[in-house]
Every structure is written in C-alpha cells, then in structure tokens.
C-alpha cells in the first residue's frame, strides 16, 4: 500500500506546530493549564491575515451554560449575506472563539 501523501505546505505547517509546542514545553497542570497552553500555541497561527468589516462576540444558550460564539462579517458585503458555520471539534475543552481567528477571517472574506 502506498504511503499516505501529505501536501508539502501541510507537512511544513505540522512541523511548525510541533516546533511551537516543543518551545512551550509541558503545560501547567489541569484544564486551565491546557487552555493556556492551547491559546499560546495558536498565537503564531493567528498573526496577520485579512481584516474583516466586523468581529462580534456573543453567546448562544446551551443545555448547561451559555456557549461563546464569534461572528465575522466580510469586508465586501453582497446582498443578501451568505452564512458559513464553523464548528470546531476540539472536544470543547481547550479552544475558544479566538482559536482559529485568522482562518475564519480568511473564510469570511
């Protein structure tokens, strides 16, 4: 069976992510430590990228607590505006609405 081929850009991104995680070292104990480590690891990935017309934080009701959400409005706004919903499947433990900020600004535009 042929070895799974990974795009060179994805291979480089994975290598950079591993480099970032090694530089950060072991996270502080507990879920708060894991959240702090994840936020630090995402800083490099969220640098730069496009601006958007608006970023709005809100909450939606959930079965046990309010769930933080983030709305991105593209720079160019055709009428009517289309919508794209991104659900991050990270276990809902360590990420935040800011975890994939650059990626979502790019998608919004």
Q: Check residue 57 and give its pLDDT.
A: 93
Per residue in 7-27, pLDDT tens? 999 999 899 989 999 999 999
- pLDDT at 2 exceeding the cut of 70: no
The mean pLDDT value for 71-78 works out to 83
Q: Check residue 1 and give its pLDDT.
A: 47
Q: Do residues 55 and 79 lie in contact, with contact meaning Cβ atoms separated by under 8 Å?
A: no
Check residues 97 and 36 and name the one with the higher pLDDT: 36
Burial bucket for residue 103 (CB in 10 Å: 0-12, 13-18, 19+): middle
Closest C-alpha among 75, 70, 74 to residue 100: 70
Report the range of poorest mean pLDDT among 59-63, 72-76, 105-109.
72-76
Q: What percent of the residues of the chain are helix, what percent strand, and what percent coil, each to the nearest 5? A: 40, 15, 50
C-alpha to C-alpha distance for 104 and 26, rounded to whole angstroms: 28
């Amino acid at each position: 069976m042929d070895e799974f081929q990974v795009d060179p850009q994805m291979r480089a991104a994975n290598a950079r992510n591993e480099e970032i995680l090694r530089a950060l070292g072991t996270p502080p104990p507990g879920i708060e430590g894991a959240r702090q480590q994840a936020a630090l690891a995402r800083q490099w990935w969220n640098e730069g990228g496009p601006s958007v017309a608006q970023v709005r934080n809100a909450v939606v009701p959930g079965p046990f607590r309010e769930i933080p959400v983030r709305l991105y409005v593209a720079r160019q706004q055709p009428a009517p505006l289309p919508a794209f919903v991104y659900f991050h499947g990270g276990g809902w433990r360590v990420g935040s609405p800011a975890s994939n900020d650059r990626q979502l600004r790019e998608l919004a535009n």
